[in-house]
Amino acid sequence: MKRFYRSRICLKFMVMLALGWPALLQAQQFQQQPQEEKELSPVSRTYAITNATVFQGPGRKLDRATVVMKDGLITAVGKGVAIPPEAIIIKGDSLYIYAGFIDGLSRAGVSKPKEEANRERPKDPGNPTPELAGITPQNDVRTFLNPSDKSADDLRALGFTAAQVVPYGNMLPGSGAIIQLTGKTSDAMVLAGKSALFSELTGAPRVYPSTILAVMSKWRELYRQAVQNKNYETMYAANRAGLSRPASDRILEAFYPVIDKRIPVLFEADKYLETQRVMTLQSELGFSLVLGDVKEGWDAIARIKSSGAKVFLSLDLPEDKKEEKSKDKKEEAGTLTPAEKEALEKRKAEFLALYTGQAATFQKAGVTFGFSSLSAKTSDIRTNLRRMIKAGLTEDQALAALTTSPAQLLGLSDRLGTVDNGKIASLVLSDKPYFHEKARVRYVFVDGIMYKYDVKETPKADAGAKAEITGTWSVTTETPQGKSEETVTFKKDGSNYSGSITGGRLAQAVSLEKVELNGNALRYSYTVQVGGQSFKVDVDATVDGSSYKGSATVGQYGSFPVEGKKDPNR
């Protein structure tokens, strides 16, 4: 806990190093959309989805209804509505339509600023530049938006169409914006700029403010200085004669809209104690507060309610899996007795239930909340939603937290959140009710732009299928910077597999920690060490004869396509 603040910052750039893509950062930053001038417009911007099950909003279901969209707006919803002749018709007989989901705190579509590796400790760590100190509230996330960023595509593929996004950084990275997950330029993505001043209780690496102690006091000082400056500017503006001119200060000026309560402060407050500390700042300074990515809020509900804070709960949940017996790990001296172990397991389960039940607990307490994908693995989000539902949230409540509630919390209810005439044409269409385990998203409309998701008949994982992996494989991992080639070797001992990986960006061969072949479903993982930090890479693939296809997931930092080809000679 103590080293948390420092280590988290390190993580952010360590992971970039781990994956060895420093150039990627640069590339992303300067990909500011060269416009394709001769791109053809779609034939029509009018769509009609006919005969579908429409969930206009939580608890508002229409059977066999039609939704008509024109020029980015919903123009008709209902049975027997007239379909304009120019409309592109999508037969929705087996489809379920929902309003596009809204993510309350995210970094989808936001490029990471370039991090300098091995930054030297400044001569006077007590007086760093504001940039080193992580104090850049004057920054605007719109500067860092990248319409072709993969994270936006990933989030959209789940059904999200809008998100409040924030810049990367430490204590005060800048202001956030509400974007739609579409658009050819960064400005085209923006629905509302400067939606909130974003902040984290994160210290700066090795310079002031480096710990929670200094972050808290620096926050108070900046806020009070801003109040003081603003008051003086007001006085000066009323009558300038005889008064010295107020100095311009972009950092303090960034607080002015917060002081006027025109925008709230949006805090990343995932841990329970952070949630409490953020509310302490709010109670002292009096700004409007939004708590983002809350993971452990159940014991703070009473205070959250009295603080009037708005809440976006995290879509990240601790994994729920039985611990595997670590065979190769040395038995520690004085290992737990079965009774002790059982007692510890019980307490762990009790807390896991609190995490998964957080949303239901907030619901029961009558707190309106949305969700945040900030620290969630995209591939886990739908599973986690189902886990929350299993823990007591109803499907309607989950839908509200994805649509109407965030629309309300972000002040967008007149434009987003329901499938109603006049709203922005942002929809998600799935082939089964969305929260059904087997539901697949088939279409997403964002601002009237259609994204179609073909259900790829990828070689299906089949427990009965036979596959053989023993041997050497050439593996290509597709990273945004380019392809990375590795060599993976699998061995079989009895019924267990083992293996190793080398090449690519690995300094040396690393043995695979876990190799599982279940039918033709292949899973393996390995750990990359960079600068004393380790990053676990999980590969999930399906074997088809002498090749396999799948994805490599690096913690919460994203997943990338992987392809393996068996080397016939070895």
Partner 1 sequence: MKKILLIICIAVLAQQLSAQVERGNMLIKGGTVLTVTKGTLEGTDVLVTNGKIAQVGKNLTAPAGYKVIDAQGMFVMPGIIDAHSHAGLDAINEGTSPVTAEVNTGDALNPFQVNLYRALGGGVTTIHAMHGSANAIGGQCETIKLRFGVKDPELLRMEGAPRTIKFALGENPTRVHGGGGIVPRTRMGVEFVIRQAFSQAKEYMAAWDTYNKQKIQKGFRGAPPAYNMRLETLADVLRGNIIVHCHSYRADELQMMLKVCKDFGVKRIVFQHVNEGFKVAPELAAYGAMASVFSDWWAYKLEVYYSTAYNAAILTKNGVTTSINSDDAELMRHLYHEAAKTQKYGDLNDDEALSLITINPARQLGIEDRVGSIETGKEADIAIFSKHPLSIYAIPMITVVDGIVRFDRSKDPDDMRIFVDPRQSVETTTLRETRNAHEQCMEGADYMFVKMFGLNLNEQ
Q: Which residues bind partner 1 (CB under 8 A)?
A: 1-5, 121, 123-127, 206-214, 216-217, 220-221, 224-225, 227-228, 232, 235, 239, 242-244, 246, 272-273, 276-277, 280, 283-286, 299-300, 303, 306, 318-319, 323, 326, 329, 332, 335-336, 340-341, 343-345, 347-352, 355
Q: Which C-beta is closer to partner 1: that of 149 or that of 274? A: 274
The count of C-alpha atoms lying within 13 angstroms of the C-alpha of 2, restricted to the half-sphere facing its C-beta, is 0
The answer to whether 102 touches 402, Cβ cutoff 8 Å, is: yes
Residue 297 or 564: which CB sits closer to partner 1?
Answer: 297
Which tokens sit at 267? 């805090």
Closer residue to partner 1, CB minimum distance, 154 or 274? 274
**Smallest gap, in angstroms, from Cβ of residue 237 to partner 1?**
13
Q: Tell me the Ramachandran region of residue 480: left when phi exceeds 0, alpha when psi lies from -120 to 50, beta otherwise.
A: alpha
At its nearest, how many Å lie between partner 1 and the CB of residue 214? 4
Q: How far is the CB of 225 from partner 1 (least distance, A)?
A: 5
Q: How far is the CB of 133 from partner 1 (least distance, A)?
A: 10
3-state secondary structure 488-542: EEEEEECCEEEEEEEECCCCCCEECCEEEEECCEEEEEEEEEECCEEEEEEEEEE
Is the N-terminal amide bond of 209 cis, ω within 30° of 0?
yes
Residues 6+ apart with CB under 8 A from 519: 461, 462, 463, 464, 465, 466, 467
Q: Which is nearer to partner 1, 32 or 228 (CB)?
A: 228
Name residue 176's beta-bridge partners. Answer: 196
From 247, 30, 32, 250, select the one nearest 140 (Cα to Cα).
Answer: 250
Q: Which is nearer to partner 1, 306 or 529 (CB)?
A: 306
**How far apart are alpha carbons 458 and 470 in whole angstroms?**
22
Residue closer to partner 1 (CB basis): 1 or 40: 1
Q: Say which residues have a Cβ less than 8 Å from residue 254's Cβ, sequence separation at least 6.
A: 137, 138, 172, 174, 175, 197
Residue 33 vs residues 72, 183, 570: alpha-carbon distances, Å: 22, 10, 45
Residue 133, CA distances (Å) to 16, 116, 125, 214, 218 in order: 21, 14, 9, 11, 10
- Dihedral sign, CA of 220, 224, 227, 230? negative
For residue 141, what is the DSSP state?
Answer: G
Strands (E), 46-159: 46-57, 60-70, 73-78, 88-91, 96-99, 101-106
Shortest Cβ 137–partner 1 spacing (Å): 17
Residue 1 is classified by DSSP as -
- C-alpha to C-alpha distance for 541 and 32, rounded to whole angstroms: 34
Which residue, 90 or 300, is less far from partner 1 as judged by CB? 300
Q: For partner 1, which is the closer residue by CB, 108 or 391?
A: 391
What's the min distance (Å) between Cβ of 338 and partner 1? 11
Quick one: 150 or 206, whose CB is closer to partner 1? 206
Nearer to partner 1, 62 or 352 (CB): 352
- Min dist CB 276 to partner 1, Å, is 6
436 CB neighbour count, 10 Å cutoff: 13
Q: Which of 140, 57, 145, 151 is nearest to 103 (CA)?
A: 151
Closest separation between CB of residue 259 and partner 1, Å? Answer: 12
Cα–Cα distance for residue pair 161/144, rounded to 1 Å: 19
* Pair of tokens at residue 287: 């700004």
Question: How many CB atoms are located within 10 Å of the residue 50 CB?
Answer: 18
Supply the minimum distance, in Å, between the C-beta of residue 273 and partner 1: 6
Least distance from C-beta 281 to partner 1, angstroms? Answer: 9
Kindly state the smallest distance separating residue 330's Cβ from partner 1, in Å.
11
How far apart are CB 291 and partner 1 at their closest, in Å? 16
Q: Which residue lies nearer to partner 1 by CB, 50 or 282?
A: 282
If the CB atoms of residues 44 and 231 are measured against partner 1, the closer one turns out to be 231
Q: Mention every residue, 6+ apart, whose C-beta is less than 8 A from residue 284.
A: 220
Report the residue number, 109 or 209, with the smaller CB distance to partner 1.
209
**Smallest separation, CB 138 to partner 1 (Å):** 19
We find the least distance from the C-beta atom of residue 216 to partner 1, in angstroms, to be 4
Nearer to partner 1, 272 or 453 (CB): 272
> How remote is the C-alpha of 247 from its chain's centroid?
39
Nearer to partner 1, 41 or 244 (CB): 244
Closest distance between partner 1 and the C-beta of residue 305, in Å?
Answer: 11
Round to whole Å and give the CA distance between 174 and 168.
8
Residue count of the chain, please give it. 570
